């Protein structure tokens, strides 16, 4: 039976799509973005981690396995647990990561099973995958949360480790298929939030607008940078290249929001 490597399943997630959701975090990612919030998701293998805890003046370490091979049924039994809350909130399940499309066969089985259970499905993805895969997957995903980071390919390779070519092409494909897509732009000072990059993103998105697709139908979420994952980097001994960056407030993104809105796009700050 097909198994997937999952590093967390979190219930009552309220920022990964509409309503109350359960989010499945896939382990393994082809990208290595400097600002990643889930650095423990990068590797495609289970990892052991020790969490140090104080109790009664003594130090204890709690062994945790980051990443667990799970069957479709095992994941589904977790996903079914909060059905009553999905119903009440028009919520559902979200597949995130890591990059769920890296385990596309497992993901496809899960998505099909969710649809068989009439659950709303959201896919949170970098979009870095083959066209064939995205074509197979998209009929079973009700909503895409699709990251758009850098338009200049050299920059993209520098800050994420991969080319953005398939990412941009797959996004154009999904939009042309009239899928529900929310484009998520991580706003990282000096990296994605440069005049040049923002201009390029606007230009790229404007090309998606045509007679059938109005600008306002293009939905954008601006995600302000925050250093919430700082501790994770040191815990997993991963080099954190954005250590020096300061957190952005929601308010500080208002000018940027205005800039996108001036082009007619539908924009919100935060997920």
Partner 1 sequence: MNDRIKKLRDQSLNAINRLDAERALLVTNFYKSGIDSKVSTPVMRALTLNHILVNKFICINEDELIVGERGSAPKATPTYPEINLHSLEDLEILDSRHKVSFKVDEETKRIYREEIIPFWKGKSNRERIMRSMAPEWIEAYNAGIFTEFQEQRAPGHTVCGNKIYHKGMLDLMKEVRDAATQIDWKNDPLASIRNEELKAMEIAANAIILFAHRHADKLEELSDEPGNSQRKQELLEMATICRQVPAHAPRTFHEALQNYWFIHLGVITELNPWDSFNPGRLDQHLYPFYKKELEDGTLTKEKATELLQSFWIKFNNHPSPPKVGVTAQESNTYTDFCLINLGGVKPDGSDAVNEITFLILDVIEEMRLLQPGSMVQVSRVNPDNFIHRTLKITKTGFGQPSYFNTDAIVKELVRQGKSLEDARNGGASGCVEAGAFGTEAYILTGYFNLTKVLEITLNNGTDPLTGKKIGLETGPAELFRDFDDLMNAYSKQLKHFIDIKINGNNRIEQIFMEYMPVPFLSLLIDDCIANGKDYNAGGARYNTSYIQGVGLGSITDSLTALKYHVFDKKTISMSGMLKALSQNFIDFEELRFEFLYNTPKYGNDDDYADAQALSVFELFYAAVDGRPTARGGISRINFLPTTSHIYFGSVIQALPDGRKAKEPLSEGISPVQGADKKGPTAVLKSASKLDHLRTGGTLLNQKFTPSFFDDEESIEKMTALIRGYFRMNGHHIQFNVISATTLRDAQKHPEKYRDLIVRVAGYSDYFNDLGEDLQNEIIQRTEQGL
Binding site for partner 1 (CB under 8 A): 10-12, 14-15, 19-20, 53, 55-56, 58, 60, 62, 81-82, 84-85, 87-89, 91
Query: Are the CB atoms for 120 and 143 separated by under 8 Å?
Result: yes
User: Least CB distance from residue 172 to partner 1, whole Å?
Assistant: 29
Beta strand spans in 138-218 (E):
143-147, 181-187
Smaller CB distance to partner 1: residue 85 or 204? 85
Smaller CB distance to partner 1: residue 91 or 166? 91
User: Least CB distance from residue 50 to partner 1, whole Å?
Assistant: 13
Smaller CB distance to partner 1: residue 53 or 243? 53
Smaller CB distance to partner 1: residue 151 or 269? 269
User: Least CB distance from residue 78 to partner 1, whole Å?
Assistant: 9
Cα–chain center distance at 31: 12
Residue from 247, 231, 241, 248 nearest 34 by CA: 241
User: Least CB distance from residue 73 to partner 1, whole Å?
Assistant: 16
Smaller CB distance to partner 1: residue 22 or 193? 22
User: Least CB distance from residue 142 to partner 1, whole Å?
Assistant: 18
User: Least CB distance from residue 57 to partner 1, whole Å?
Assistant: 9
Smaller CB distance to partner 1: residue 35 or 140? 35
């Amino acid at each position: 039976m097909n198994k997937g490597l999952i590093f967390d399943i979190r219930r009552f997630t309220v920022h990964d799509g509409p309503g109350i959701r359960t989010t499945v975090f896939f382990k393994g990612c082809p990208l290595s973005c400097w600002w990643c919030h889930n650095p423990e998701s990068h590797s495609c293998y289970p990892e052991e981690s020790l969490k140090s805890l104080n109790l009664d003046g003594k130090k204890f370490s709690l062994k945790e396995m980051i990443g667990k091979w799970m069957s479709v049924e095992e994941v589904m039994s977790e996903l079914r647990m909060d059905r009553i809350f999905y119903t009440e909130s028009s919520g559902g399940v979200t597949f995130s990561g890591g990059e769920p499309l890296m385990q596309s066969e497992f993901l496809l089985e899960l998505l099909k099973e969710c649809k068989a259970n009439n659950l709303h499905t959201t896919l949170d993805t970098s979009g870095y995958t083959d066209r064939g895969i995205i074509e197979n997957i998209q009929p079973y995903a009700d909503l895409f949360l699709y990251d758009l980071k850098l338009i200049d390919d050299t920059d993209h390779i520098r800050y994420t480790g991969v080319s953005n070519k398939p990412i941009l092409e797959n996004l154009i494909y999904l939009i042309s298929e009239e899928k529900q897509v929310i484009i998520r732009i991580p706003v990282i000072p000096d990296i994605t939030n440069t005049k040049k990059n923002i201009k390029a993103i606007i230009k790229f998105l404007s090309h998606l607008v045509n007679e059938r697709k109005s600008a306002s139908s293009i939905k954008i979420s601006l995600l302000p940078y925050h250093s919430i994952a700082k501790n994770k980097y040191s815990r997993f001994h991963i080099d954190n290249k954005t250590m020096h960056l300061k957190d952005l407030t929601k308010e500080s993104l208002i000018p940027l929001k205005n800039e996108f809105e001036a082009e007619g796009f539908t924009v919100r700050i935060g997920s």
